[in-house]
Amino acid sequence: MDLEYLLSMDPAAILLVPVVVVVTAAVIFLHSLVLKFLSTATVRNKVVVITDALTGLGKECAKLFHEGGARVILCGKTWGKLEGFADNLTSAADPKLTFPPKLVLVDFGDMNSMPDVIAETLECYGCVDVLILNSNLKVKAPVQSTSLKMDKLVMDNNYFGPITLAKGFLPSMMSRRTGHVILVNSIQGKLAMPFRATYAASKHAVQAFFDCLRAEVQEYGISVSTVNHTFIISPPPGEKTKKSIWSIFSKQKVMGITPVEAANEILKILNSKKREVVMAHSLPKMAIYARSLFPNVFFAVMAAGVNNAAGVNNIAALADSEEL
C-alpha cells in the first residue's frame, strides 16, 4: 500500500523533501557562520585573559581569540609550556592581524601570589575586557577519605582563585563601565554526584558567587556568564573534526563535548551576553530538573547507584573523564 502511494505521488513532491532538508541545513550552517563572524568581530582589539590556557579548552579559546585579533593574555603554571604554546599561536597566524600573546604565571594553589598576578596582568595592557576563568581541579574519593588539606586545595583552585582574580579586575572594569567575566564551570555546579563531594562543593560555591556578582555589577555595564558543561572529550590524535553542513544535525555528543564546541560557545556568549549556558546531553539536563522538582526521587536514585557495584563503576568512569 505504501509503495503504491509513493508511486502515485508527484515526482516533484518527492524531490521537494531532500531539497527542503538541504536548504534548512544550509540556512543553519550559514547562520552559525554569521554568528561566529559577529562574535569574532566583537573580540577584535579586546584584552582577553584566559586562565589554565594550557588545557584542551584553554588552548582552543586562545586560538579562537588570537585569530580574531584579541590581545590575549595566557595564564598557566608552567612557563616553558606557555612559551611554546604562544610561539605556536604566533607562527600559525598573520602577524599583521594579530597581537603576540602575553604570558602570566598563575598557580591557584599559591593564593599568596594572587596580588602580584593581578598587578602583572593589568600591566600588560592597563585593563582587562574579557576574563575567562577556566580553572578545574578534580578529586574523586569518599567523603571520609578526603583530607581537609585536599578540600582546601580544591577550593583554592576552583573557588578562591577564580573569585580573587575577578575581584582584582573588577575595579578597572567598573571604572571603565565595561567588561565581561565568563566562568567555565562544571555541570556539577548544578548537580552533585557521589564521591565528588569536595569537587561539587567547590563548583556549587563558585556558581553561587558569580550568580550574585552578575546582579551586583549589571549597573556598571559588566556582563557575567557561566558555562556549565559535562566532561570535555578530546578526539584521538590525528583525528580531525569533520566540518560540513550535515555535521550540524549530529553536533551534540552523547557522552560529552569537545574543546572546540566549548570554545565556540564561549565566543558566541561574548556577542549574545547570555547569562548562563548548560552544555550537556538531555539526560544530565533532565537530572538537573529532577533534582529541583523531585528531590526525593533524585536522592533515591543516587543512593541506589552507590549501593550498586555497576553504578559505582559507572560513576568512577564518568568522574575520570576530563573536565567533568
Q: Give the type of residue at 95.
A: P
Spacing of C-alpha 42 from chain mean position: 18
Q: Which residue has the cell 549501593?
A: 307
Question: Which candidate in 125, 199, 220, 289 is catalytic?
Answer: 199
| Whole-number Å distance between alpha carbons of 122 and 128 | 7
Q: Strand, coil or helix: what is 141? A: coil
Spatial contact of 243 and 196, defined as CB atoms under 8 Å apart? no
Helix, strand counts (H, E) of the chain: 12, 7
Contacts of 173 (CB under 8 A, 6+ apart): 127, 128, 179, 181, 217, 220, 222
Helix H or strand E encompassing 50: strand 47-50
Contacts of 257 (CB under 8 A, 6+ apart): 229, 230, 232, 233, 279
Q: Strand, coil or helix: what is 268? A: helix
| Whole-number Å distance between alpha carbons of 67 and 65 | 5
Q: Can you read off the three cell numbers belonging to residue 140?
A: 574523586
How crowded is residue 106: how many other Cβ atoms within 10 Å of its Cβ? 26
User: Is 125 labeled as catalytic in the residue annotation?
Assistant: no
Spatial contact of 161 and 183, defined as CB atoms under 8 Å apart? no
Spatial contact of 59 and 259, defined as CB atoms under 8 Å apart? yes
Task: State the pairing for strand pair 102-105/47-50.
Answer: unpaired
Catalytic site positions: 199
